[in-house]
Structure formats: structure tokens, C-alpha cells
Amino acid sequence: MTSNLHKSAAQVRQEFIDYFVQRGHRYVPSSPVAPLDDATLLFTNAGMNQFKDVFLGIGKRDYRRAANSQKCIRVSGKHNDLEEVGLDTYHHTFFEMLGNWSFGDYFKEDAIRWSWELLTGVWGLPKHRLWVTVFAGDERDGLPADDEAARIWREHTDIDPTHILRFGRKDNFWEMGETGPCGPCTEIHIDRGGPGSNPLDGADRAIGVNAGNERFMELWNNVFMQFNRRDDGKLVELPAKHVDTGMGFERVLAVLQGKASNYDTDLFQPLFRRMEQLTGLRYGADPAADIAFRVCADHVRALSTAIADGALPSNEGRGYVLRRLLRRASRFGRQRMNMKQPFLFDVVPTVAEVLGGAFPELRAREEHIRTAIKSEEESFGVTLERGLVLFDQLAKKVDAGGAKRLPGGDAYDLYATYGFPQDLVEQMARERGWSLDAEGWNAAQEKHRTASRSEGAFKQLLSAEQLTGLPATRSLCHEAGAAGVRAKARVLRSFSSAGQKDRVVLDATPFYAESGGQIGDSGVLRGAQGAVVFEVEQTLKLGPVIVHVGKALAPFASWAESSGAEVSAEVDVQRRDATRRNHTATHLLHRALKEVLGAHVAQQGSYVGPDRLRFDFSHGKGLSAEELERIERMVNERVYDNAPVKTTVEELDAAKSRGVVAMFGEKYEAQVRVLDVGGWSMELCGGTHVRAAGDIGPFVVLSERAVAAGVRRIEALTGGEALAHLQGQRRALSAAAQALKTAPDEIVGRIEQLQAQLKEARKREAASNKADITTLFETVKARLVLRAGVLAGVIDLGDVDGESVRELGERVKSLSKDLAVALLGRDDGRVPFLIACEGAALSKGLKAGDLAKLAAQHLGGGGGGRPTLAQGQGLNPASAPAACAALSEALDRALGQ
């Protein structure tokens, strides 16, 4: 154990992988933490996610044993409450899961024996501090206790037999979901002890293992997949039994390095050192600041890995989760580290340095990650200020109602929308002598969680039971000629259920299933007599199984449910051809972007359909008109050259070594399809494409804009859609020329002429308005009254714009050093107003800022400023008389009637 204290995280991670590789396991790199091809997952949350199809019996690998360290993010669930992260020393959102797997190969004996040998033999953990749990059985499912696992622990390891404990279904039976593969598990826990403590004996175990305390910690879980839970809840034996294990890397590293906290390991300490440089604080000096250190370190790791894999903060799905993480970290930085300016982005290089050896994409995309995080931090700073204004407005409602309690539902909106946590809202309420309606807050929170769960729930295309045992669909979409769009196939299964489209699975299909940004094919299935029996609206993929989704035109029983029923599967060729044009053009666009903007350009996402193409890419600024024209011209030149389009199947490593481009965030098999367009564009792609670049037809860029920090989007058209767009532009140009009474090539000059005329007209109008301001000033001057030594008045000017109100205010201030004046105007449905208080008015308690807030209470909108000068803009012109009355009353109270 002593030698482990000096091992780095990189060494421990590699020792785990090497141990299992030496025992016949294939090292499989981590899949992306933001899975782009799995609609059931916001984030990869376990090592087994990338092998889910194998466990369901619908996928295969060319190996039967695997091991890796998987990047995972968990932000919800029993043991992963986001609000707990940072408050203790062992919760995380991002973590690594060390795992080894057997796909129908070894089972309980080898899994248990190797777990014990690695922990105690290789890493030297003290055996007397290790405890294991096994399944105690479950009456409801009619399952006996896992006596086999208990026997293996006793006979094949030298663990203390009294340290083998039995627990029920809650702790020792693992399930993938409501249906699907599942089985008993055996967990290994360690007694980390405490000050002056000894390991607990068997009599005291009730306060130890699985008791929810920090002293006993689960290290490793070995799941034995031997059952399948059907839709009716019953369990049946799986034909092939699997092993799925998972060990939290951060936890075991803390144990091996002799640290009481995961955050004291070399995975986190370099991040703390960097934050100390940025903040001037020291980790360990102040408990409140320490929480902020842990929150920021954890969240910046999660953000960095997710962004490196192609995800971005946004307002929906996984992007919303990332935005919440960033705002939570930023808020802790502001509140407890006094970091008012962005700083998390400056920790990213340290994250890349610590984790980049295991996950090289962090180093490759470091600058992109920094840009995205910095932009989000800046945006949140603005949002936070806006939230403070809204809190003030909420406070005015409370004041007006005479209550001393902040409504919980309204207050919770500040959290959900602006990131204000409950403790900050409570603190701001206490500063005003109020309390927070906690019951209302909790009710709003639960409503939000319910909506989030509903929004995030994936409506399963097929249940685990429906999928189990289905063979991989033989894909024919890449076959040459008619075989790639029309084929005979046998119906394997058909599904119809309330609230969902009908679904059909065939043994083979020419339909392309949605993947890699390209939408799935549509078309029809024809029965034995040639009649259409099923309209295919969408084609999707679940692992290696392709599912045709649409509408059955005849009852399934009449054509799909007889053994070996045959159909003719026919793709909508016109739609497929249009999609192929756009897909190949997308690859040419990617290469052109790299040529014009630089090698840093990387795909961030795409949409390829028959109507258009959309391409998101990393780049820090908008493209100039000249750059867009170069890119458009470059793609069209390749089209004119009619370069051949070739697709080959190659080994992944060999393809990458010769410069073939792979997309960040995609998980590729060992053998991949390589698309080569004339040797100019070479990328990994499993989509459908044209035979030669000339088939694309004209390529036209429609638009270019930002979609996130450091990410741009280009939308474009090809073929007939591009031609139709160009013809539409020509018609619009011709119509504009006619309206302007000029030739099309002289439109710019004509517009410049009209603009010059308009500018001159505005000058004349401004001169006229100046004369009007002078007249208005005389009117205002006549309506002001000297009261208690103060020149005062509240004057509604009617239809006077904001600029004129401000100019009148400046002129009024020249009339006296002692004044209290409020001016209100009208401007495009708004009420601009200005209030000035100077000299004796201030000594009598009048403040322009307070009066502006009073006006805003009636007018809506905002208003505020200094005691001497304040202004604002109301939203409700109908309330102007009420605002004037309220302001007049305020002057009366201060100056007398």
C-alpha cells in the first residue's frame, strides 16, 4: 500500500487497463461523454453504455472481453444530486468509470477473483478493511440468494468470511431500466476508518456497509447479467450471460494515494493551484471558499470533456445541463471567491494537461473549449445583472402588497431562469427583513423537475424486450444500382401501440437509417400482391437493428405476422438523390472551410436532408463576404471538375494515419467507411453519396451565423433547390429594379442616391424639431411653480420622443439650482421620462432615483438613477395619468400643498 502513495492518476489508470489487457481483454477507448447517436442518453453515465446493444442481444463485437476508463457525467439520480457536488468531498458530476466486461465469456468466478487480485495483490489494499456484498434474494421476483457468488468469495479469495454480507434487491440487483438485461451484483466496499478507529467487526456492520456514511465507501461493482426483465415484469434467463463491472476512478485513486478526499488527489490539486493563482485565495484556508474550489474544479472538468466531445451550452437537453453547471460554478466563484469577471475558462488548459493524456481530444480542442466557456461566463454576468433587476421588481410587488414574505413560485423563477439559488434569494430577502415562502419554492421546484423529466424522457422506439434477440439488420443502402433502393426482405417483427407510430423490422433493408446528421429514408413496403402495405415515414437505428417507422395501411396480421412474410422494400429515390447531393456537398464544404479559414475548423454538427444542408463548425468569428464567396466558389469548382466519389471500407487506425478526417464526438467501429471526393476531401462517413461531384449541381450558400460561442453555422442548397433559389433572387432583383425605376446593375447606386436624399430630409426635420424644442421649453417653463424655495412641476408632454425629453431636461436644469421636475413623453408606444432633483429639493428628501422607481411602478418597464437625475421608459402609456398623480403627491408631501 505504501508504494501506491506516490503513484500518479495516470499510472493507476494504466495499471488497471494493463491488468485486464494481460488477461485477454481488448482495450476499447472511452466513448464520447455526450453521445451524439443515442437519443436515450443526455450523457454517457456508465461504462456499459457503449456496449448496450451487446447486452440487448442485438449487437456483436469482434472481441468477447473489454476494458477501459469511460468518461461519465451524472447530474441527477439517487446518488448524484447536483446541489450536493462541492459540499462534500466525494460527489462529482464528471467522473471516470474503470470497467471490465465479458460478453458471454467468463462469468462470476473470474470476475470476482480478478477484482480481489487487482485490489489486494497488485494495489496492496489491506484485506481486513475490505467488505463485499452479495444478493440476498427477492421474494417478489421469486429469486433465490446468490449463493454462488458468496461461495466464490469464500473459496477463491482469502477475504474474511465474516466480511461477506447479504443485501436485497435495492442494493445488490442491477437493472438497465424498467425492462431489459439485469442481474445480481456483488460490490466491494472499503472501511476507510476514522481518527483512532479500527475496522468494524461483524457485529457493527449495520452502521457501516450500505449505511450511507462516508467511512464505508463502495469501490467496485460486479454485475452479473443473467436475466431479462420482460414488459410484464417477469424475469427470464438470458441465453448468454455477461459481466459488467464499474469502479469509480476518483474514489479508488483517493484510497490508493492515502487521501481522505477525492479532491486531494492529483486529478484535482493542479486545478486548485491554478484557481489559487487566479483568485489569490488558498484552498484549505476557508471552508466556504473550499466549497467553491470543489464546485468549480468539478464543473469545469465536466464542461471541458462535454464540449470537447461536441456538446455546447444551450437552453435545451444536454446543453441546458451544461449551462446550469457553468452558472452554478460561476455563481460560487462570484459569491465565495469574489470573482466578478470570467475565470473558469482560464482553468481549461490545466484540465487538458491533467486529463489530456487519457483523452487527447481535450488538448486538441483546448482553444475551442476556452472560447465556449468564456462566452458563457460573460453571458451569465449579463444575465445575473438582469436577474437582480427582476428581483427588485418582485420586491416592489411585495412592498405594494404589504407582505413581508417573498412568494416562493416567483422566487423560484429567478433560480430556473437566472441561476439564483435558494440561499441567495433567502439572503436578499433577509436584507429587506423578509422571509421566503419555502413551501411555494418547493412546489415550483417539483413542478419544474416533473416538466424536465417529462421533457427529457425518451419515448422508446422499441422496448428492451422487443429488441432482445433481434439479429443485426443487413443494410443494403450502399449497394450499387437498383439493389441500393429496392429489395425483397423478410419481416422479422412488427409493432403497433397507442401513442406511437407503427414500426417494422426487416431482416435486410435498402433504407438508410438516420445517422451522422443525415436523415433516414422514406418510402413504402409492398406486400405479396404489389399493393402498398406500409408507408415508411422515417428510418431509425437502434444499435445494429434498423427500424422502419410510419403507418400500416393494412392490418399487420394480414401481411406481417405470418412466418417468413416477404415484402418489397422501396426507397423514395427522388428524396434519396436530393439527400445524397446535400451530403456529399457537406463534405466538400468542410474541406473548403479548412482551406479558407484554417485547419482549426472542426465539424460541430450537421443536418443533411433532401431540402437543404446545415453545417456547424468551430470558428471564433463571423465570415466576411469575401470568405463566403471563396468557399462557395471552391465547392462549385469541385462540382465542375466532376471528381469521382469513392467509398472504401478500411481499418480505422490506417484511415486516420493517412489523413482521413474523423468527427469529434463520434464513436467509430474498428472498420470504417471512407468517403473520398477526388482525393481532395477524405472523411469518415457512413452516409449515402453521389457517384461523382458533378451530380451535386449548383451549390449556393444561404446564410452564415453564430449558434454558440466559437461555433458558426452555414446553411446551403444544392441541385434543383439551389437553382430555384437563384431564380427567386433574380426575380426579386428585377422587381426591386422596377420599383426603383432603374436597371438591376444600377440598384446600388440608386439606393445610395435615395439614402442621401433621406439623410438631407432628416437634417431638415431635425432643424424643425429644434425649433419645436424651443417652443416646448417655453411651455414647460410657464408650468413650473416655485414651492418652498424649489422650482417644481410634473409635466406630461404628450407625443415627445425620448431624445427630446432628455434635451428639455438639460434646459430645465439651467432654470434654477433648486428644482424638482418630472417630464413624461410618448415614443412608439412607450413612455420616456426624466426626473431631476437638485439643491433644496434634495435637502427636503426628494431623490430623482426614488421618484423614477415610483413612476415605473405605474408605467411598467424600468427606471432609476442617481438622486439628482434619473430616467426610464414605461411600457404602458395608459397609466401615464396615474404616474403623474403619484409623482405630484410625492412633491406635495415634500414641499407642501
599-641 pLDDT, tens per residue?
A: 889 888 899 999 999 999 989 889 999 999 999 999 999 999 9
Query: Which pairing describes strands 790-796 and 819-824: parallel, antiparallel, or unpaired?
Result: parallel
Sign of CA dihedral 684, 687, 688, 689: negative
Residue 455 pLDDT > 60: no
Phi, psi of 17 (to 5 degrees): -65, -45
One-letter amino acid identity for 346? D
Give dist(CA 504, CA 546) in Å, integer.
9
Alpha-carbon distances of 507 from 55, 542, 546, 567, rounded to whole Å: 20, 14, 9, 11
Region of residue 63 (phi > 0: left; psi between -120 and 50: alpha; otherwise: beta): beta
Region of residue 359 (phi > 0: left; psi between -120 and 50: alpha; otherwise: beta): beta
Residue 76: all three cell numbers together: 441527477
One-letter amino acid identity for 384? L
List, in sequence order, every residue forming a beta bridge with 796; answer none if it has no partner. 824
Sign of CA dihedral 546, 547, 550, 556: positive
Q: What was the pLDDT predicted at 200?
A: 53
Q: Give the orientation angle of helix 573-597 with respect to helix 625-641, to 10 degrees.
A: 130
Give dist(CA 108, CA 152) in Å, integer.
8
Q: What was the pLDDT predicted at 194?
A: 63
Q: What angle is formed at CA 455 by the lines to CA 449 and CA 458, rounded to 5 degrees?
A: 120
**Residues, the chain:** 897
H/E stretch holding 83: none
Contacts of 660 (CB under 8 A, 6+ apart): 650, 674, 682, 683, 684
Q: What is the mean pLDDT of residues 388-399?
A: 75
Structural contact between residues 868 and 850, judged by C-beta atoms closer than 8 angstroms: no
Residue 53 pLDDT > 90: no
CA dihedral 599, 601, 606, 610 (to 10 degrees): -60
Phi, psi of 834 (to 5 degrees): -140, 140
H/E stretch holding 515: none
Residue 400 pLDDT > 60: yes
Specify the higher pLDDT residue, 591 or 77.
591
Structural contact between residues 188 and 130, judged by C-beta atoms closer than 8 angstroms: yes
What is the CB-side half-sphere exposure of residue 58 using CA atoms within 13 A?
25
pLDDT band at 446 (very low <50, low <70, confident <90, very high): confident
Q: What was the pLDDT predicted at 204?
A: 58
Q: What was the pLDDT predicted at 456?
A: 38
Q: What angle is formed at CA 640 by the lines to CA 636 and CA 646, rounded to 5 degrees?
A: 95
Q: What is the mean pLDDT of the chain?
A: 88
Q: What is the mean pLDDT of residues 113-138?
A: 95
Q: Give the orientation angle of helix 348-355 with respect to helix 366-401, to 10 degrees.
A: 130
Residue 693 pLDDT > 50: yes
Q: What was the pLDDT predicted at 347?
A: 97
Q: What is the mean pLDDT of residues 679-686?
A: 91
Phi, psi of 792 (to 5 degrees): -135, 160
Share of the chain above pLDDT 70, in %: 92
Residue 174 pLDDT > 60: yes
Task: Express each pLDDT in 322-378 by its tens digit.
Answer: 988 998 899 889 888 999 899 999 999 999 999 999 999 999 999 999 999 999 999
Q: What was the pLDDT predicted at 431?
A: 65
| CA proximity to 810, closest of 821, 800, 801, 799 | 821
Give dist(CA 540, CA 525) in Å, integer.
16
Q: What was the pLDDT predicted at 341?
A: 92
Give dist(CA 120, CA 116) in Å, integer.
6
Region of residue 440 (phi > 0: left; psi between -120 and 50: alpha; otherwise: beta): alpha
Q: What was the pLDDT predicted at 548?
A: 95
Contacts of 522 (CB under 8 A, 6+ apart): 535, 536, 537, 538, 539, 550, 571, 572, 575
List, in sequence order, every residue forming a beta bridge with 196; answer none if it has no partner. none
Task: Express each pLDDT in 242-291 by its tens digit.
Answer: 999 999 999 999 999 999 899 999 999 999 999 999 999 999 999 999 99
Q: What is the mean pLDDT of residues 60-77?
A: 89
For the chain, helix, strand, coil in percent to 5 are 45, 25, 30
Share of the chain above pLDDT 90, in %: 56
Give dist(CA 297, CA 279) in Å, integer.
13
Phi, psi of 32 (to 5 degrees): -60, 145
DSSP string, 443-463: HHHHHHHHHHHHHH----SS-
Residue 451 pLDDT > 70: no
Residue 766 pLDDT > 90: no
Burial 849-885 (b: 16+ CB within 10 A, else e): bbbbbbbbbbbbbbbbbeebbbbbbbeeeebbeebbe
Structural contact between residues 883 and 824, judged by C-beta atoms closer than 8 angstroms: yes
CB atoms within 10 A of CB 154: 12
The whole-model pTM stands at 0.73
First vs last Cα of the chain: how many Å apart? 87
Least confident of 122-131, 265-274, 382-391, 519-528: 382-391
Phi, psi of 72 (to 5 degrees): -135, 150
Give dist(CA 478, CA 282) in Å, integer.
60
Q: What is the mean pLDDT of residues 138-149?
A: 91
Phi, psi of 653 (to 5 degrees): -65, -40
Residue 452 pLDDT > 90: no
Residue 310: all three cell numbers together: 461536441
Phi, psi of 704 (to 5 degrees): -145, 130
- 323: three-class secondary structure by DSSP: helix
Residue 102: all three cell numbers together: 465479458
pLDDT band at 769 (very low <50, low <70, confident <90, very high): low
Residue 876: all three cell numbers together: 404602458
Contacts of 290 (CB under 8 A, 6+ apart): 283, 284
Task: Express each pLDDT in 403-422 by its tens digit.
Answer: 778 888 888 887 776 666 66
Q: What angle is formed at CA 647 by the lines to CA 644 and CA 651, rounded to 5 degrees?
A: 140
What is the CB-side half-sphere exposure of residue 298 using CA atoms within 13 A?
34
Residue 2 pLDDT > 60: no
Residue given cell 472481441 in the structure block: 63
Sign of CA dihedral 278, 280, 282, 285: negative
